[in-house]
Chains A and B, each alone.
Chain A
Amino acid sequence: MSVKQKSEAATFFIRGLWEENAIFRQLLGMCPTLAVTGAVKPALTMGLATTFVLVCSNVLVSLMRNVLQAHLRILMFTLTIATFVTIADLILKAFLPDMSETLGPFVPLIIVNCLIIGRAEACGSRKPVGTSLGDALGMGVGFTLGLCALAAIRELLATGAVFELAVLPEKFENWNVMQLPAGAFITLGIMLGLSNHFLKKK
């Protein structure tokens, strides 16, 4: 890898973390963002599973970008993504069965996560492997951090705990609504508003 390629990969990695963060800047992957962020543990598992699929598919798409014919590209993206999602699903079922049950249908639904197909189209099919890897890692970690931030707020207010460790005093009256879909929309809305307010390009 040349120096230029290395710096390009690093730029893409950093960009995915914040500047083009999947959740807060691009608003991609909203379905898992709203559905599995009731607690930090499922959110973290979801983020890692998505990162795994994102990295594998982006690298593979990048490897075959020169033989990819334009009319078949969406088909090839979906095929690649579906393969790695199935693998991730099997791994979760075998080694984290309880977590797999908690996440339920949202693991197979990673297949239709726009973030992954979006990166395959925007980066994987155009850039060399190194850059695609950096991009996928950045986007994946950024997505995971976003999910965990949302989940930490919701879990704290709904149960007084973070990562199942009690934080708030026992007297705290749990806000049950934060565990429900309404709580997901409220938290995401406030976080999007805040990130827009403070980080809008002047």
Chain B
Amino acid sequence: MIKEFIEKSWLVIIAALVFGLLISAINGQLKPIIETKAKEKLNEKLAVMFGAGVETAPTTAEFMTWDNKKVVVDYFTAKKDDGLIGYALIISGSGFADKIELLVGFDVELKNLKGIAVLKSNETPGFGDKIKDESKGNWISFKDCFKGRSLGSKLEVVKSPESTRSAHKDDNQIVSISGSTISSESVTKIVNQATKLMRKALDK
């Protein structure tokens, strides 16, 4: 019985062992590189958000919700020349096609946004993926619409021509990307959620 079993399947057993070892050896070699690259990418985005020379450190905060559930928030504190200049939070939510992961930056008092950066997204090419666009000349991109935005009241998406973005700089109205209402609303919703979480976490 055992002999028959071995006779029929020895190749599979050996192959599984050899292949398993091969993959784990390669994974052991490459994993540190993958992790360093991911960290570098995040640090780059943090430096763009808070300016060069910023030092960021991961921190955790806990708070209880009204129904006694414990929520743990992982965020970054940003320091420059030993003074606290802001906070940043990684948060994800559903987009049009897939999850969107954002890095949202705040100032110390949580009164203004420092900006947002898209870490992961899979929105429709040519439409929803414009959430990643950078500003060009006089044209303000959707992403940069959040930069310096006051957090006095909940942010809302409005459908106006994209050229009016600069006119809406100080209120709570975010001009959507034309043709991608759902992606625009998803990002705004995630930013609102991040603000709520950060306020709870810091009790501000």
12 A-B residue pairs with CB within 8 Å: A68-B11, A83-B23, A86-B23, A90-B23, A91-B26, A91-B30, A94-B34, A94-B37, A97-B38, A174-B126, A176-B126, A180-B125
Q: Which of A46-54, A72-80, A125-133 contacts B (4 or more CB under 8 A)?
A: A72-80
Tell me the bound Cα distance from A38 to B41 in angstroms.
24
State whether the Cβ of A34 lies closer than 8 Å to any Cβ in chain B.
no
Identify the B interface with A (CB < 8 A).
8-9, 11-12, 15-16, 19, 22-23, 26-27, 30, 33-34, 37-38, 41, 120, 122, 124-127
Smallest distance from the beta carbon of A77 to chain B beta carbons, Å? Answer: 11
- Assess A94 versus B33: contact at CB under 8 Å? Given A69-B11, A79-B12, A79-B15: yes
Partner pick for B12 among A38, A76, A87, CB 8 A cutoff: A76
Tell me the bound Cα distance from A75 to B15 in angstroms.
11
Q: Which chain A residues numbered 162 to 189 have a C-beta less than 8 Å away from chain B?
A: 174, 176, 179-180
Interface footprint category on A = 20 to 34
State whether the Cβ of A1 lies closer than 8 Å to any Cβ in chain B.
no
Contact of A158 with B126 in the complex, beta carbons under 8 Å = yes
State whether the Cβ of A122 lies closer than 8 Å to any Cβ in chain B.
no
Partner pick for B120 among A64, A67, A76, A101, CB 8 A cutoff: A101
Residues of chain A with a CB closer than 8 A to B16's CB: 79
Tell me the bound Cα distance from A86 to B27 in angstroms.
9
Contact of A90 with B26 in the complex, beta carbons under 8 Å = yes
State whether the Cβ of A104 lies closer than 8 Å to any Cβ in chain B.
yes
Contact of B19 with A83 in the complex, beta carbons under 8 Å = yes
State whether the Cβ of A6 lies closer than 8 Å to any Cβ in chain B.
no
Residues of chain A with a CB closer than 8 A to B122's CB: 104
- Assess A75 versus B27: contact at CB under 8 Å? Given A93-B34, A97-B37, A158-B126: no
Partner pick for B127 among A91, A101, A176, CB 8 A cutoff: A176
- Assess A83 versus B22: contact at CB under 8 Å? Given A72-B9, A97-B37, A179-B126: yes
Contact of A87 with B23 in the complex, beta carbons under 8 Å = yes
Residues of chain A with a CB closer than 8 A to B34's CB: 90, 93-94, 97
Residues of chain A with a CB closer than 8 A to B22's CB: 83, 87
Residues of chain B with a CB closer than 8 A to A80's CB: 15, 19
Which 7 A-B residue pairings sit nearest by Cβ, starting from the closest?
A83-B19, A176-B126, A179-B125, A94-B30, A94-B33, A179-B126, A97-B37
Tell me the bound Cα distance from A176 to B177 in angstroms.
15
Tell me the bound Cα distance from A79 to B37 in angstroms.
29
Tell me the bound Cα distance from A180 to B9 in angstroms.
46
Tell me the bound Cα distance from A8 to B15 in angstroms.
29
- Assess A90 versus B27: contact at CB under 8 Å? Given A38-B125, A180-B124: yes
Q: Which residue of B lies closest to A97 (CB)?
A: B37
Tell me the bound Cα distance from A126 to B199 in angstroms.
66
Tell me the bound Cα distance from A131 to B118 in angstroms.
47
Smallest distance from the beta carbon of A179 to chain B beta carbons, Å? Answer: 4
Tell me the bound Cα distance from A64 to B38 in angstroms.
39
B-facing mask of A35-57, CB < 8 A → 1, else 0? 00010000000000000000000
Smallest distance from the beta carbon of B7 to chain A beta carbons, Å? Answer: 9
Q: Which residue of B lies closest to A87 (CB)?
A: B26
Smallest distance from the beta carbon of B17 to chain A beta carbons, Å? Answer: 11
Residues of chain B with a CB closer than 8 A to A69's CB: 8, 11
Smallest distance from the beta carbon of B34 to chain A beta carbons, Å? Answer: 5
Residues of chain B with a CB closer than 8 A to A95's CB: 33
Q: Which residue of B lies closest to A101 (CB)?
A: B120
